[in-house]
Amino acid sequence: PAAWAALSKRFGRLSLAETLAPAIAYAENGYPVSPVLGKYWSNAYRVYKEALHGPEFGSWFETFAPAGRAPNIGEVWASPDHAATLRSIAETEAESFYRGELAEKIVAFSKQYNGFLTLEDLAEYEPEWVEPISVSYRGYDVWEIPPNGQGLVALMALNIMNGFDVPNVPDVETYHRQIEAMKLAFADGKAYIADRRYMNYRVDELLSESFAAMRRAQIGTEALTPEPGTPPKGGTVYLAAADGEGNMVSFIQSNYMGFGSGLVVPGTGIALHNRGHNFVFDENHPNGLAPRKKPYHTIIPGFLTKGGKPIGPFGVMGGFMQPQGHMQVIMNTVDFALNPQAALDAPRWQWMEGKTVLVEPHFPRHIAEALARKGHDIRVALDGGPFGRGQIIWRDPDTGVLAAGTEPRTDGAVAAW
């Protein structure tokens, strides 16, 4: 909420109250649950019903399963508590969330169940303005949020791919190199990405051509086995926006793993996140758990420019799929000349761990078989859910015409007026 207020104040023409009014109306009056959202909501309910038995989780079921079940697809769902919370945030420029009534409710709930959150923790929080990081990729500049975010992983992978010749249509060797580059980038990301104040290496060192060349030289004809552990799943919302005056926004936020911690502050609809999940319990590791420290973070909005001019925002939701989706979408656009919708529609792969690579049901079978012959453990998914959910807006640098694409794997939409 502090970010909403800060963005509204710095860039917005409407008040925060006007900006949040549609969301408040949806929360108060309800909206029909969309297909993909309904699927994941139902899955979460089944998991929570089996796993969350303490009284501290009662508010989740009261808020998100008020009829004793998850809402059905197409059923109108409303949440007056969410409406009241959003209205309080709107009327106070988000102050109530950090230094007012909502803050007091959050802290009281935390203390009731032996949590560690205090009023001082919330009161001292301020959103942070950062300088984005980038690499030059075949004449384009690809921009990401700096660490503690994992956008650095996507940039390191693209930097490795920069040194390879890529055909106009992706072949087996292209997919093999993509997967190997991503595995190496993740290995480095898991070892080095942390709160920037604690990193052992600077971003410019990790994005240097010498480092990329060293990693690129390790890619051979056979699949490698890198060291990182198994990436967990995520739960994120991404949006891209642009207007006729040239303003463009790449925006992402997440409480992680669908509903975050599963803890909902009674009477508010506020689901507390579990973003600390990606800390490691090694005090000597750059990403080791410590006070006033941010963990390795999976959510990453992306942006593309060329010659200093904005091309547009892009993003792919989905935990540790995000940098993998970023690299594939950028290469689909830059290397394979696909339009925004086609870039999102193209079949994807996802490296899971070791030599295991998950591919979509419509991934070309002959490519999958050829990758298996190179030593990749190829597994075909039953649906496209694990492969991210993206949105893109590109501006033609010559005509200024905007073209958008929305993810076929989720409940996305392209809206223009």
Active site residues: 236
The pairing of strands 133-137 and 140-144 is: antiparallel
CA–CA distance, 168 with 363 (Å, rounded to integer): 18
CA–CA distance, 395 with 117 (Å, rounded to integer): 44
Distances (CA, A) of 360 to 192, 379, 387: 30, 9, 8
- Kindly state the tokens that stand for 219: 């890619």
DSSP string, 100-147: SHHHHHHHHHHHHTT----HHHHHT--------EEEEETTEEEEEPPT
CA–CA distance, 184 with 227 (Å, rounded to integer): 9
Are 110 and 117 contacting, i.e. CB atoms less than 8 angstroms apart? yes
CA–CA distance, 393 with 22 (Å, rounded to integer): 23
Are 88 and 101 contacting, i.e. CB atoms less than 8 angstroms apart? yes
The pairing of strands 309-317 and 389-395 is: antiparallel
For the chain, what's the residue count?
A: 417
For 262, other C-beta atoms within 10 Å of its C-beta total 22
CA–CA distance, 135 with 140 (Å, rounded to integer): 8
For 235, phi then psi, to 5°, come to: -160, 100
For 277, phi then psi, to 5°, come to: -55, -30
3-state DSSP assignment of residue 207: coil
Cα end-to-end distance, the chain, whole Å: 27
Could you give the count of Cα atoms lying within 13 Å of 296 in the half-sphere of its Cβ? 24
Query: How deeply is 42 buried, as exposed, middle or buried, from its count of CB atoms within 10 A (0-12, 13-18, 19+)?
Result: middle
CA–CA distance, 39 with 41 (Å, rounded to integer): 6
